Structure 1
Amino acid sequence: MTAPVPSRRRVAGPLRGGRGRSGSAPLRVLVVGQAEGTPGGISSVQRLHVRFLDAREDVAVRVVTTYDEVGAARRLWLMTTGIARAVALVLGGRVDVVHLHVAKGLSALRKGLIVTVARLRGVPTVLHTHAGAFAEWFDGLPAPLRPVVAWLLRADRVIVLADGARETYTSRLGLAAERVPVVANPVEWPAELPPRDPHASRVRGVFLGRLIDRKGVFDLIDAIASLHAEHRARLHVTLAGHGDVDAVHAAVAAAGLAGSVDVRSWIGPEERDALLREAELLLLPSWWEGLPMSVLEGMAWGLCPVVTPVGGLATLVRDGDNGVVVPVHDPAALGAALDKLLSDDDVRVQLGARARESVAPFGADAWADRLVALYRELLVPDQLPDRHGRKSHHG
């Protein structure tokens, strides 16, 4: 959820494969993923990815879209034409590295086809994983299909968002740990924070994400309804995202929270930043996650995160240090945590300040530097470990 991507430089010079590129020529990176305006954290990461690589002189970026949240016919067209375009670029020797943003299900299968073609062509691939529930999806496949899907997804590098996710991919895809680096999501850094009055009569909270039960949005509504009356009157929460908006509206109305909870559909970067600028609490009591962009963004704005210990959040947010951690699917515990934060303004502000400090290393510039270093590592012959950790030629 960032500013629009600037126009991309076109790659000049002869069409060649991924190996043996001149050190002076721009590194040709093909990014495969979602349409730019698609709601969700994956497209947020992808927009930062393209934007910060495109600003570099040593990289030239092409983007191929294989998914958008549109009608079924349009999705099918995007998938088939996107895969065909990516394959043509790879087979035509017009890219040096392919970087694919992937979740699960059809996302994994369509990216797997491109990974396979690139592998056969000798072009290095980076699979950037985002699905918190990949293991459940993979393990639910029919047994004969699992080795096929694993073979399709066996990229040169499989990026995971947190240490805890590494085993998910090493065990299921048959990869050495060296081929599964941990690269946390990036965040754009607000240069300065707005003045906030910790003792103001109104405290604002924000939920940014899919409006579905597994993101904990209904747990959050139940928790707000359980607050002490004075705290419930003081707290105002905005729920923004795509999903079952009507069901969330109905739950808010049934809980008698129409004056305390505002429900919106998915919002753009400017609206998001406006909400974060005014808020003090970032609320995401999710049942599963990778490393959600909304939490990183909220922490960068100095909000106190209130989250569950799932995915990368288990190490990012430390209870009582840089945020508040509550059990999964426990509205009572969530309500009690909110009551404490609303009764102690100083603690709430201190947690938000430490949250901002703790995500400083997640800045997008340094993140882009790390990705480019990873790409260049893949272009060096004999540097790709096999599933046993031994170095071998690509292919």
Structure 2
Amino acid sequence: MKARAPRILMLGTAPEGRGGVAALVSVLRDGGLFEREAVAYVSTHREGGVFAKLGSAASGFSKAALACLRQRPRIVHAHAASGASFLRKSMLLWLARTAGCRTIFHLHGGGFRQFATVRSSMLTQRWIRHTLERSSLVIALSEGWAQFLRGFAPEARVTVVPNAVPLPRQGEQGEQGEQAEQAEPGRILFLGRLECAKGVAELLDAAATPAPRFPQLRLVLAGSGDLEAWRAAVAARGIGAHVELPGWLDAAARERELARASVFCLPSHAEGLPMSLLEAMAAGKAAVATAVGAVPEAVRDGENGLLVPPHDAPALAAALERLLADSALRGRLGTQARATVERHYSTEAVCGQLAAIYNDLAGVR
């Protein structure tokens, strides 16, 4: 018997994998969007070695192409970033349009501006512009990204849908006072890929400054990457007693680390709208982040977090020292951070936005 055609075909990385797209897809699925809107999901990328990635890309591409051409869903919704991710998704969206489907290009990743304007040839730039302008809708994570896309591809129809994170119930996370009791003084948490582009080197430099004044300082660098190289970088700065490198954490371990942290820090050089930052804000943590990508639209300096320039270790150190020394400030920023997520980045709000978009593109009122 022929399988029932999905209303929505969604494309992206494996939900059980790592990174922002995987985290967002898991949130949307767990929030009930897939069931309510008849969404079928095809993974076109997963973590692993080169051959595993190639195999996953080939398998996902063929499954998605067959679904577009045979089942013809009403809408094909692709989560895409730069490089190979863009090329895979742009070809699948072209196939979907050929089959008569409406298409959504959902942009992730802070490196897309560089990819589209600097790293790509003129021919590739034309293909990027063509993909954006021929999509039924382009979704940006913030108004800043939307403005860039409208300037790069003037004929594109662009709207803003932010990332979403689940908001822990107060009964699960505890009242703000209980959260403060759970948090360990001086514990700073970083969640993300361990690489220079995430500002890890500057974070190590910044942590070395307040360490003598705050002997309880503990910097937790949680994420995948070359752990041995970063251990060597820690040793070179003489702060081995203050740094933990636990590697990549699953969801339960991330929650435990967030509960233990006094401060969250993400000093990236470029970003879209980082899921780890939103998760920390939802957990009521005071955050220090760099003013890149959509971060300044989520974090208002001095109101619900602290912002510093990218590549600026002294500014980062000053912000961290300020939070470590002032428990009242940490509590106020954490409370406002959670309220910000509740108002603008909750699962319910974003799933509702996507459902309205699907109905509009499918001609349902």
- TM above 0.5, yes or no, is yes
Distance 1:87 1:285 in 2: 38
Distance 1:269 1:74 in 2: 23
- Is the CA contact 2:167–2:341 (under 8 Å) kept in the aligned structure 1? no
Question: What is aligned with 1:65?
Answer: 43
Aligned partner of 2:203 among 214, 220, 229 = 220
Aligned partner of 1:136 among 93, 106, 114 = 114
Give the CA deviation at 1:270: 0.5
Distance 1:244 1:160 in 2: 31
| Counterpart secondary structure, 1:367 | helix
Question: What is aligned with 1:388?
Answer: none
**Which deviates more, 150-159 or 233-242?**
150-159
Question: What is aligned with 1:37?
Answer: 16
Give the CA deviation at 1:301: 0.5
Give the CA deviation at 1:182: 0.8
**Which deviates more, 195-204 or 326-335?**
195-204
- Is the CA contact 1:33–1:67 (under 8 Å) kept in the aligned structure 2? yes
Amino acid at match of 1:379: A
Distance 1:169 1:374 in 2: 19
| Residues 1:373 and 2:351 are matched in the alignment | no
- Is the CA contact 2:183–2:260 (under 8 Å) kept in the aligned structure 1? no
| Counterpart secondary structure, 2:79 | strand
TM-score w.r.t. length of structure 1: 0.85
Structure 1, unpaired ranges of 5+: 1-9, 16-26, 384-395
Question: What is aligned with 1:98?
Answer: 76
Amino acid at match of 1:96: R
Question: Cα–Cα, structure 1 residues 93 and 204, in superposed 2: closer, same or farther, change >3 Å?
Answer: same
Deviations, residues 219-262 of structure 1 (Å, cap 9, x unaligned): 1110010115232x122121111123222211112222222111
Amino acid at match of 1:185: N
Distance 2:273 2:19 in 1: 12
Distance 1:329 1:36 in 2: 31
**Which deviates more, 120-129 or 151-160?**
151-160
Give the CA deviation at 1:276: 0.7
| Residues 1:171 and 2:154 are matched in the alignment | no
| Counterpart secondary structure, 2:160 | coil
Question: What is aligned with 2:141?
Answer: 161
Amino acid at match of 1:372: A
- Is the CA contact 2:182–2:259 (under 8 Å) kept in the aligned structure 1? no
Distance 1:94 1:115 in 2: 12
Residues 151-300 of structure 1: matches in 2 within 5 Å? Answer: 151-153=130-132, 154-176=134-156, 179-192=157-170, 193-194=173-174, 195-197=178-180, 202-227=185-210, 229-231=212-214, 233-300=215-282
Distance 1:200 1:272 in 2: 14
Give the CA deviation at 1:62: 1.4
Distance 1:11 1:280 in 2: 54
Structure with the larger helix share: 2
RMSD between aligned residues: 2.2
Structure 2, unpaired ranges of 5+: none
Give the CA deviation at 1:326: 1.1
Percent of residue pairs identical: 36
Give the CA deviation at 1:265: 1.4
| Counterpart secondary structure, 1:132 | coil
TM-score w.r.t. length of structure 2: 0.92
Amino acid at match of 1:42: V
- Is the CA contact 2:288–2:305 (under 8 Å) kept in the aligned structure 1? yes
Question: Cα–Cα, structure 1 residues 200 and 170, in superposed 2: closer, same or farther, change >3 Å?
Answer: closer
Distance 2:179 2:85 in 1: 41
| Counterpart secondary structure, 1:229 | coil
Question: Cα–Cα, structure 1 residues 293 and 380, in superposed 2: closer, same or farther, change >3 Å?
Answer: same
